[in-house]
A and B are shown apart, each in its own frame.
Chain A
C-alpha cells in the first residue's frame, strides 16, 4: 500500500457513520410502514372458562408443531431435547468446523438447523 493510498484510508468516522445512519433510517422506515399498517388490537379479556386455541409468535411455531409428534411420555424430546440440541449445535458450530472436512460437516448441521424450523412452520401453517 503506497503512502498516498494510506492517506485515503476510510475511517469509521465520518465515512461509515454516514452509511450507518442511512441504514438505521431505512430500518425506521420499514418499521413505520409495518407499524402504521398493521397495528395490534386489544385482545379479549381473559376468560378461564373458555379454552382458547393459542398461537405463539411466529418464531415459536416450529416448536409448537414439533411437540405434536411426540405424544405421551416422549413429549420431552420435543420440548427439551430437540430445542436444546439445536441451540447447542448452533453455538458449537466453530468446533464442528474442524479439520479438512469441517466446513462440510458444519454446512450440513447448519442446513438441518435452518430447514427443520422452516419445514415445521410450513407444516403448522398448512395443517390449520
Chain B
C-alpha cells in the first residue's frame, strides 16, 4: 500500500530515480571514523536549525520585549529551557566539530587538487558559523549580551579610514541599541543560515563529485 502511494507520487514527482544514483553510489571500504567529523558538525547544524525555529516561536526581537521573551522561554514555556540550552550547546559543538574536521582534512592533505575550492568553501562556512555565534550572543538582550556586543562591535570602529562608517553600519547607530538587535536577529536568522546552507550544499556537492580522499 505504502509503496503504491510512493509510486503514484513518484510518477508525478520523478524524484526517486535521481536520488537512487546518490543513495546507491559506491563507497570506499577503507575510510575510518575520522571521516564522521564533518557529518557530525552537520548534525549539529541541523539541530541548530530545528531548535532555532522552535525558539523563534516565542522570541521577540525588540528592544523592549527581547529580554522578557527569553525569560519566558527559560522559565515558563514547557521545555523551553531545554530547547534554549540545546541551541546554545549545539552552537559550541558545531564550531568544535568544524575545527576537528578541518584538522582531519589538513592531516589527510585533502585540500590538495582537485579539492582546493571545497577547502575554501569550508573556511567560509567556519567564518559564517563564528559570525552566527557572535550575532546570536546579543539576542538574549541582557547585561552579558549587551556589553559583549558593545566591545565586539567597537572593533569595527578601529578599522582605518572607514571605521566610523563601519561601526555605524554594524550597530545601526552610534551605540548598541534596538536597531543593532534587529540587525543581528536578521543576520542570525536569515542571512547567515541561508549562506551556510548554500556553502554546505556546495561542500557536499563537491564531495560527491570528487569522492573522499584516500585514507591517511
Please give the residue numbers on chain A whose beta carbons come within 8 Å of chain B beta carbons, in ascending order. Answer: 9-13, 15-17, 19-20, 23-24, 26-28, 30-32, 34-36, 38-47, 50-60, 63-64, 67, 75-76, 79-80, 87, 90-95, 97, 103, 106, 110, 114
Residue of B with least CB distance to A51:
B147
- Measured between beta carbons, the chain B residues less than 8 angstroms from A90 are 123
The answer to whether A43 touches B47, judged by C-beta atoms less than 8 angstroms apart, is no
Partner of A27, one of B93, B141, B155: B93
Cα(A16)–Cα(B143), bound, Å? 46
Q: How far is the CB of B205 from chain A (nearest CB, A)?
A: 15
- Measured between beta carbons, the chain A residues less than 8 angstroms from B150 are 54
The answer to whether B142 touches A28, judged by C-beta atoms less than 8 angstroms apart, is no
- Measured between beta carbons, the chain B residues less than 8 angstroms from A32 are 86
The answer to whether A12 touches B22, judged by C-beta atoms less than 8 angstroms apart, is yes
The answer to whether B36 touches A23, judged by C-beta atoms less than 8 angstroms apart, is yes
CB interface residues, B 154-207, toward A, < 8 Å: 155-156, 158-160, 163
- Measured between beta carbons, the chain A residues less than 8 angstroms from B115 are 94
The answer to whether A46 touches B27, judged by C-beta atoms less than 8 angstroms apart, is no
- Measured between beta carbons, the chain B residues less than 8 angstroms from A76 are 158-160, 163
List 5 interface pairs A-B (beta carbons < 8 Å), by A numbering: A10-B27, A42-B75, A57-B91, A79-B155, A80-B155
- Measured between beta carbons, the chain A residues less than 8 angstroms from B147 are 51-54
A35 in contact with B24 given A42-B70, A91-B120 (CB within 8 Å): no
- Measured between beta carbons, the chain A residues less than 8 angstroms from B77 are none
B133 at the interface (CB under 8 A from A): yes
A97 in contact with B23 given A54-B150, A59-B95, A80-B159 (CB within 8 Å): no
- Measured between beta carbons, the chain A residues less than 8 angstroms from B81 are 39
A9 in contact with B26 given A42-B71, A54-B150 (CB within 8 Å): yes
CB interface residues, B 3-59, toward A, < 8 Å: 22-27, 29, 33, 36, 39-40, 43-44, 47
Residue of B with least CB distance to A88:
B123
B2 at the interface (CB under 8 A from A): no
Residue of A with least CB distance to B93:
A31
The answer to whether B25 touches A60, judged by C-beta atoms less than 8 angstroms apart, is no
